[in-house]
Amino acid sequence: MRIALLAAAAATLVATLPAQAADLAATAAALREKALADPTAWEVTESLTTEIGARPQGSPAMDRARDWGVEKLKSLGFSNVHVETFETSSWLRGAESAEIVAPYPQKLQILGLGRSTPTPPGGIEAEVVLFKSLAELMAQPPGSLKGKIVVVAQVMRRTQGIEGYASGVGPRFIGGVEAAKRGAVAYLVRSVSTDDTRLPHTGGAAHSGIPMAALSTPDAELLEHMVARGKPVRIKLSMASTFRAKAPAYNVVGEIKGREAPDEMVIVGGHLDAWDPGAGAVDDAAGIAITTAAAKLAGAERPRRTIRVVMWGAEEQGGSGEAYATAHKDEVGKIIVVGESDLGAGEIFNAKLPKGSLGHPAMKAFAAAVTPLKAIVSSAPAQQGGSDTDGLRGLGVPVTEFNQDASRYFDLHHSADDTLDKIDPKELAQNVAVWAAFIYTVADSDIDFRKTAAEAK
């Protein structure tokens, strides 16, 4: 009944559109149905996770991923397929271990954070000081934690969208810096995750000059229980890693040329790199697959404008979006919109469009096409189209933002559980359907998001 009501609502919306927009909506609706039955996104995800797996920036696996991306785009019929090489930093993990040596000896499960400093040979052993939040740590005076291993056990909230992560990532990213300011010799943080397994979650951190690692959530709670007993808790930590300030990195690009305005383009993509514990399935093979499959479907309709897919090569450690924007600054005026898929494969429940564009016939056509997918077009404008779009956004390029159901995403992301079996092919296809409808309605229309934004002021 609900699906029937959604379909009826979409039909009613289409009936009120002018003829050109109704044609756009009809084609977008047909693309939606094709996308729901199309296996391309699943096949791309399976291929990347099976043939390459983990692929941190600066690793041999990332070199293989670059070559995989080129061959995949060519095999799917994209033109002008090429690699854009740039340099950015590379942090690679070595052997790691942690254990409580007193008062109750036990092993701990950790993963080093990006930009962590290695421990000296033989490791570090020191007493723990534990804080329930980053705010508690920051309330400590400089030098007050000299010689200690600082632990922050702040809990992340589970939310449908990105809000829980956005409010909870601070301890991972800047906690080590704050601990070092206060004299700590190492820093451990409860994983920024919503799971309850003993699999820790890694991620990037600001350089602090001290060893930094994420604890599994049960191990963080174990430390809380031990500290609460009042006896000094000591940990031995051993971590190895390598860091290069400059290492080769790659953005892989392919296009489907527009039939009338080939110099105008819609840019979409995901990031090709992935942290090393898992296979990088939800983060971000899924995003690569969704946008590539959607672009292929939309491009098969030969739209007016060019569709460009970018597999950004260094999102996790940073630099790919800025490198792309620098390389393409002369094209900025011709880039109609940019968007990145980087929140797994959960269904899209909310679509945010560039400011002032909701009333444009093309975006009405898009809304009509995605209504049966239970994707609500928000009245709030898009603010941030993904980390790799920030460079272009800073140069004035409009962004789009599709919010996915992230209820389970942070159980998996940056952990050994980020594997192919966690992706639901039907949910993946729903994402492709929404993206294909958007890409097509923009690429085959004359919508100018800069103009709609200016008119909305």
What pLDDT does 8 receive?
A: 47
* Six-digit token string for 206: 């600001």
Closest CA to 251 of 125, 388, 372: 388
Q: How far apart are CA 307 and CA 169, in angstroms?
A: 34
Q: What confidence category does residue 117 fall into, taking pLDDT thresholds of 50, 70 and 90?
A: very high
Q: In this structure, are residues 189 and 132 in contact, taking their beta carbons and an 8 Å threshold? A: no
Predicted pLDDT of residue 308: 98
pLDDT per position as a tens digit, 398-424 = 999 999 999 999 999 999 999 999 999
Average pLDDT, the chain: 95
Q: What is the pLDDT of residues 362-402, one digit of tens each?
A: 999 999 999 999 999 999 999 999 999 999 999 999 999 99
Q: What CATH number belongs to 2-89+246-456?
A: 3.40.630.10
Which among 239, 264, 289 is positioned nearest to 115, based on CA atoms?
Answer: 239
30: Cβ contacts below 8 Å, ≥ 6 apart: none
Contacts of 103 (CB under 8 A, 6+ apart): 226, 229, 231, 232, 233
Q: b or e along 187-204 (b: 16 or more beta carbons within 10 Å of the residue's beta carbon)?
A: bbbbbbbbbebebbbbbb
Whether the Cβ atoms of residue 440 and residue 306 lie closer than 8 Å to each other: no
CA dihedral 284, 268, 40, 159 (to 10 degrees): 40
In CATH terms, the fold of domain 104-232 is: Glucose Oxidase; domain 1 (3.50.30)
- Please, how many CA atoms are within 13 Å of residue 269, restricted to the half-sphere of its CB? 28
The two tokens of residue 253 are: 């690009």
In the chain, % of residues over pLDDT 90: 94
pLDDT of residue 4: 47
> For the residues 240-263, what does the mean pLDDT come to?
98
Dihedrals φ, ψ of 47, to 5°? -65, -50
Q: Each residue of 192-239: pLDDT tens digit?
A: 999 999 999 999 999 999 999 999 999 999 999 999 999 999 999 999
Instruction: Supply the pTM of this predicted model.
Output: 0.94
| pLDDT at 431 exceeding the cut of 60 | yes
Categorize the per-residue pLDDT at 304 as very low, low, confident or very high, splitting at 50, 70 and 90.
very high
Q: pLDDT grade, residue 292 (50/70/90)?
A: very high
Percent of the chain with pLDDT over 70: 96
User: How far is it, in rounded angstroms, from Cα 446 to Cα 59?
Assistant: 42
pLDDT of 457 reads 77
Q: Domain segments of the chain: what residues?
A: 2-89+246-456, 104-232
- Catalytic positions are 315
Strand 261-271, strand 305-312: pairing: parallel
pLDDT-derived band at 456 (thresholds 50, 70, 90) equals confident
Q: State the pLDDT at residue 98.
A: 98
CA dist 372 → 1, 10, 247, 360, 367 (Å): 12, 7, 46, 20, 9
Residues with Cβ within 8 Å of 37's Cβ and at least 6 positions away in sequence, in order, are 429
> Strand 234-256 vs strand 149-152: parallel, antiparallel, or unpaired?
unpaired
Place of tokens 């070199």: 63
Q: 16 pLDDT band (50/70/90 cuts)? A: low
Q: Tell the residue number behind the tokens 């041999």, with chain if given.
A: 60
Q: Which residue has the tokens 């959607």?
A: 294
Higher-pLDDT residue of 17 and 97 is 97
Mean pLDDT to the nearest integer, 292-319: 98
Is the pLDDT reported for residue 267 higher than 70?
yes
Do the bridges between strand 261-271 and strand 335-340 make them parallel or antiparallel, or are there none, so unpaired? parallel
Q: Regarding beta strands 186-190 and 149-152, do their DSSP bridges make them parallel or antiparallel, or are they unpaired?
A: parallel
> Is the pLDDT reported for residue 253 higher than 60?
yes
Nearest to 288 by CA among 26, 98, 51: 51
Q: What are phi and psi of 278, to 5 degrees?
A: -110, -150
- The answer on pLDDT for 2 being more than 90 is no
Task: Indicate the pLDDT class of residue 17, thresholds 50, 70 and 90.
Answer: low
Q: What is the mean pLDDT of residues 98-110?
A: 98
pLDDT band at 21 (very low <50, low <70, confident <90, very high): confident
β pairing state of 149-152 and 124-131: parallel
